[in-house]
Homo-oligomer: A and B are copies of this chain.
């Protein structure tokens, strides 16, 4: 009888979940560890921040995921130490597990890029807690602006990647269409949405034509675009640019820069750029072929974008390699099949760029964007619920759509 491989997967993001699924099917004994009881669907966090969806719509319980297979267990705790020679991991809660294979998939976190005042005064949008906190802040400030306790609720979003563009575009739509209904006491000059980007264009990974289309769509929605502007500091009520400009900002959203969290240093594995753990082209740690790193935390020889697709493919690949190694095989190099990239700006507006050069924008791209996010990436109850929320936000009864405050 073959001994079943014991695998510990740390982190239940796209990479960790994909690895777990693959390993579960191979019959390995998997323990999926995460510090939260739920897995988060990060690409839709901006919808939570802008009150289009609830936290339960973009997350699901890890134990429910694990319950699909009898050979998968879930455990809520954080990794504190790796003992590679003993093939053992220790956790924050005092527990420990022995492994045959270890998969590290804990992801990265906000990088403040040493900008003074940013950690204190800006809000990231990286975790479910971040998104819910941003929503509460916006709601609270708008209420105070409506009742005269606060002068204004100006929002500055820093970083025009997909998250920054999606957040700014959606907030601008809410400001124009919803706010006059829900907060009639607030004058238009008391609110604004500004998007700051150090490049001269938004959405750097896209072709110039699509960047321009996205910028135009943002302007059309009333977003103040500050391109070619580098942030020099963040104060409680302002964002300072390097050219000396002071942008009024009651709420500063930090939508750029990710780095490995500080606790990774304690794991004793060699780190590279951005604190990522260095791995071979087969995604395992040099000298420890039984330790794999997948997702954003993987410092692979060829850098990959921090998106769901690379994470899913890495997780799947590693799951397969471990199944093969358990039968005596060797791990094979990972190669990324880029299916293309896409981002949405707001209602009926998105940009899409396939690897073969095909591009798409406007309503067709937006429908593809929704289809991919709902049909392909989500599952079960979330799928229906998210679809419902999209429908409601963009096609529901006009006045009932006015849900900026929750």
Contacts and interface: CB of A to CB of B under 8 A. Distances in A.
Interface of A: 37-38, 51, 53-57, 59-64, 66-68, 70, 73-77, 93-95, 139, 143, 146-149, 181-185, 380-381, 384-385, 388-389, 392, 396-397, 399-400, 402-406
Nearest to A402: B67
Contact of A149 (B93, B380, B404): B93
A34 B53 CA distance: 23
A112 B384 CA distance: 41
A381 B396 contact: yes
Nearest to A149: B93
Given A37-B405, A64-B403, A75 B183 contact: no
Contacts of A77: 147
- Which of A56, A70, A74 neighbours the largest number of chain B CB atoms within 10 Å of its CB? A56
Contacts of A37: 139, 143, 405-406
A38 B94 CA distance: 40
A137 to B, nearest CB: 12
A300 B257 CA distance: 61
A52 to B, nearest CB: 10
Contacts of A70: 184
A400 B147 contact: no
Given A381-B388, A388-B384, A405 B64 contact: yes
A17 to B, nearest CB: 14
Nearest to A66: B182
Closest 7 CB pairs of A and B: A54-B56, A67-B181, A61-B406, A61-B405, A63-B182, A67-B402, A63-B405
Contact of A182 (B61, B147, B149, B182): B61
Contacts of A76: 143, 147
A344 to B, nearest CB: 20
A94 B148 CA distance: 11
B67 A182 contact: yes
Contacts of A405: 37-38, 61-64
Nearest to A185: B73
A44 B9 CA distance: 37
Contact of A64 (B56, B73, B182, B389): B182
A140 to B, nearest CB: 8
Contacts of A55: 54-56
Contacts of A63: 182-183, 402, 404-405
